[in-house]
Amino acid sequence: MIEIGDALVSFDVLQKKFCCNLHACKGACCVFGDAGAPLTIEEAGDLEDFLDDLSPYISAEGLLSILEQGSFVRDDDGEIVTPLINNKECAFTVFENGVAFCSIEKAFQAGAVPFNKPVSCHLYPIRIKAYENYEAVNYDVWNICNPARDEGNQKDIPVYLFVKDALIRKFGSEWFEQLDYAARNLDFKKYE
């Protein structure tokens, strides 16, 4: 691991390869899992405050789930997450030609809301766990993302570069520049 600011970053984030391949996975990360997408308190508030603006982008089933459960719920661990449709896909998931997309991201791209999809989704396959004095930045390996690993290896795209915009959104551009410098200059064999 490497320490940058108050974050401990796994070497896997710098070395492993990843690039989403929606044609292969069909956006499965929006559909499978044991809970909805993790949300910050601010994101939960935004979803509640901008629900009317998001509504045209949400599926009928998703909107019904949100109206029944709320814009956000608490999972079994007490974390704030998006609600699910029938304990399956995220309520903010929309399908186009059999591929799952995020209605929040679509609304953001259309200029309907001033915020993008949850940062936890934007960062994936990186997962961040907050501790008292630092945040752990780790690469999450999920079998539904095998096509993304294959694509990343073929295109030689490290995880951290695949999620560059999300890392800058989360930690800032100066932090990302330090991470990029470390990735390009560390002798990883030294740490094996």
pLDDT in tens, 38-58: 999 999 999 999 999 999 999
Together in a domain, 31 and 9: no
Together in a domain, 135 and 90: no
The answer to whether 123 touches 163, Cβ cutoff 8 Å, is: yes
> Residues 12-34: pLDDT tens digits?
999 999 999 888 888 888 888 77
Instruction: Measure the CA–CA gap between 48 and 135, rounded to whole angstroms.
Output: 27
Together in a domain, 109 and 156: no
pTM of the entire predicted model: 0.86
Break the chain down into helix, strand, coil percent, rounded to 5. 50, 15, 35
Instruction: Measure the CA–CA gap between 22 and 151, rounded to whole angstroms.
Output: 11
Query: Which of residues 116, 147, 169 is at a domain's end?
Result: 116
Q: Which domain holds residue 181?
A: 1-18+125-192
Query: Which of residues 98, 116, 134 is at a domain's end?
Result: 116
Q: DSSP secondary-structure letter at 141?
A: P
> Phi and psi of 60, rounded to 5°?
-60, -40
